[in-house]
Amino acid sequence: MIHNDGVVFTGPESATVTPSATDAAVAAVRALARASRILERSTDELNLAHYRVLAAVAGGDELASRVAARLALGRPAVSSAVAALTQRGLLNRIGVAGDQRAAVLSLTPAGRGVLARSEQAMTARIADLAARTPDAARLLEALGWLNDAVDEVYAERRTAEAPVLDQSPAASRTLMPDNSSVGQP
């Protein structure tokens, strides 16, 4: 970990961050923040929060809790986005039998259309921005690597937050309906 002007970098222990690398990292943060606003303005159909939810559902995250975990959002934020997208007719929300808090999400045909048009507009904007750099193809490839790194960080976070199962002998006993136990040592 290197602290430089309030910036914290973490990564492989062998990584060395020089002052010029710090400047480059700050420039990258600022560029990503500005580019996200350009992407959001490229479509008037979705804001980025709603885009992220639709894209996560389209990518296979069908449970609202998984969408929240994948996007590193709180459940209230996802619930609000799901409610708005459902009200607009872009998402179907179906309750899970036996669990009033769980919901299976799927895109409606209108949701698939809005997502496709939004991605087309955003893709055109990111391609235009990339074309203004010395190596557009390499920039887009690097952004793909960044996406993979983000997925890896979120997967590590989910693993670290997963409950550890108690495998002690007492935990292995199962109570029968009559409160007798099975599997006692």
Residues of the chain with CATH 1.10.10.10: 47-159
Cβ contact 126:140 at 8 Å: yes
β 91-96/174-175 pair status: unpaired
Alpha helices in 93-180 (DSSP H): 109-131, 136-161
How far is Cα 158 from Cα 163, in angstroms, rounded to an integer? 10
Report the chain's mean pLDDT, rounded to a whole number: 80
Q: What is the CATH number of domain 47-159?
A: 1.10.10.10
pLDDT for 42 beyond 80: yes
Q: For 91-119, what is the mean pLDDT?
A: 88
Please state the length of the chain.
185
Give 108-149 pLDDT, tens digit per residue.
999 999 999 999 999 999 999 999 999 999 999 999 999 999
Tokens of 150: 């983000």
**pLDDT score for 155:** 82
Instruction: For residue 92, give the H/E element and its range.
Output: strand 91-96
- Distance between first and last Cα of the chain: 47
Yes or no: say if 23 and 11 are a contact pair by the CB < 8 Å rule. no
60, 101, 117 from 95: Cα distances, Å: 17, 8, 28
pLDDT at site 102: 76
- Least confident range from 60-64, 163-167, 170-174: namely 170-174
Placement of tokens 């970990």 in the chain: 1
What does each C-alpha distance from 87 to 25, 54, 83, 133 come to in angstroms?
A: 40, 14, 6, 40
Dist CA 99 CA 164 (whole Å): 22
